[in-house]
Amino acid sequence: SEFGSIFGRVAPYMDTRSRLLKFKACLSGCCAGYVSSFFFDKRSDRYFSKDIHTLIHSIKAKIEKHGLIIVKADKGNSVVILYRSEYVTKMLDILSDRSKFKEVSEEHTLDRLRKFQSFLRYHHKKGVFSDFEYSDIFPTGTTIPTMYGLPKTHKPGVPL
């Protein structure tokens, strides 16, 4: 594969095993992201033969039928298949810990973002920030955070 070829060409230049493993993990993550983009993109039909397309859809159907979820493991370059209900239960257990999480009645992230952007625009027009500083600190492409849990396969009970 192309990713294997890249790894093979870069590996000799890594000066420590630790850096080599980090590079391998990073490259593996990129590869997984690249492959998963084909799985979930409706326009991906043109990238696969009809046989592969049928196989992907049958796998996805089996995953849904059996109530499963596939998630990346916390450590190592592996994935874990869990029952969706088990995953949701574990995530709700984490979220129910009031010492770590607080329930809010409304989501204010985007309001705060807009106010901050407005603040920056106003002060940029007043000359407080140079064009370079303004473009450097102005937030763009902001998304509301998403919570997810990575299974810790190296611990008993596979906590998230």
The one-character DSSP state at 152 is -
How many alpha carbons fall within 13 Å on the CB side of residue 105? 0
pTM over the 0.75 mark:
no
The pair of three-digit structure tokens given for residue 44, joined into one six-digit string: 């991906």
Query: CA angle at residue 70 from 2 to 160, to 5 degrees?
Result: 115
Tens-level pLDDT at each residue, the chain (160 residues): 455 666 666 667 666 777 777 767 666 666 565 555 554 445 555 555 667 777 777 888 888 888 888 888 888 778 888 888 888 898 898 888 889 888 877 777 788 888 888 888 888 898 888 888 888 888 887 777 788 888 887 888 777 8
